[in-house]
Amino acid sequence: MRMLAMNLVIALLFSVTGSAAGGQDLSPTAKWATIAAYEYSEFPNIVYTKANNIDLKLDVTITGPKDQPRPTLLYIHGGGWRSGTKDDYRLWTLPMLTAGMNIVNIDYRLASVSRAPAAVEDCRCALRWVYQHAKDYGFDTSKIVVEGHSAGGHLALMTGMLTPQAGFDNDCPSKEDLKVAAIVNYFGITDVADLLEGPNTKDYALTWFGSVPDRMDLAKRLSPLAYVRPGLPPIITLQGDKDNEVPYQDGVRLHEALDKARVPNQLVTIPGGGHLGWSCDENLRGQQAVFQFLHEHGIL
């Protein structure tokens, strides 16, 4: 997957810089890519909160001076809420880096450390950290995009859709109104309860909940579909219609609910696409759709 991510970035760079070969000016995206390549700075393993006596860390990559606010990506890795680290998925953020975005790539508590809803609470804490340190790193809080793949897609949706009244911000209470400008959801779970019972039951979901009390009630409270309402940030969902890990209908149901609530959104379907394993062309098509979506909503 790391090689695939690198190939995708190379393809994107060629697509946005091709016109320059003929002597024309670089496109805005290509200019950002050049700036990112020569002016980026990295700040790894910053502790953003402590939970279960564990330091939870994030990496920051900025694409210019700290005093220049820039669009910022908060990236949340996948792994079924039970595996993966920010380091495993570092290259997955490179396309956004080429677009000149700052990157905040986070770890969170996995099921082996703490059951649901810990991961959601941690991601909200990370968003609060971005707000609190905006001036330190050049995070434009009016242009924060949260993105994730699979379980990370679910966490991205929850991070951007929750309100303090939902009850998952108690570990990191904040005076800031934690809003994001857009959510990029790669095949994230939208109906968590559906994965705990019935034909769509998944081991990874059972592991995340374990034997927590009232798990079905909690699963409903942890489902993005429960938070669809007018006024949400724009949301783009990308999913293969042959996904065998997250039901494709999760993406369809979210799209339909958002349409009904008149929330700007887009569903990008990869025909025949499974859970990961998309071809380079399919990944490129998806990333270009994301860029276009963010451009249309004034973020890039």
pLDDT digits (tens, 9 = 90+) for 211-246: 999 999 999 999 999 999 999 999 999 999 999 999
Structural domain includes residue 44? yes
Residue 40, pLDDT score: 85
CATH number, position 234: 3.40.50.1820
Structural domain includes residue 135? yes
- Give residue-wise pLDDT tens across range 56-106: 999 999 988 999 999 999 999 999 999 999 999 999 999 999 888 999 999
Buried b / exposed e across 246-257, counting CB within 10 Å, b at 16+? bbbbbbbbbbeb
Structural domain includes residue 38? yes
Structural domain includes residue 22? no
Q: 280 falls in which pLDDT band (50, 70, 90)? A: very high
Give residue for tokens 């699979």.
150
Residue 27, pLDDT score: 62
Structural domain includes residue 134? yes
- Global pTM value: 0.90
Structural domain includes residue 34? yes
Q: In this structure, which amino acid lies at residue 123?
A: C
End-to-end CA distance of the chain: 26
Structural domain includes residue 265? yes
Bridge partner list, 48: none
Structural domain includes residue 19? no
DSSP code, position 225: G
When divided into structural domains, the chain yields a total of 1
Residue 34, pLDDT score: 63
Range of the structural domain that residue 255 is part of: 2-8+27-296
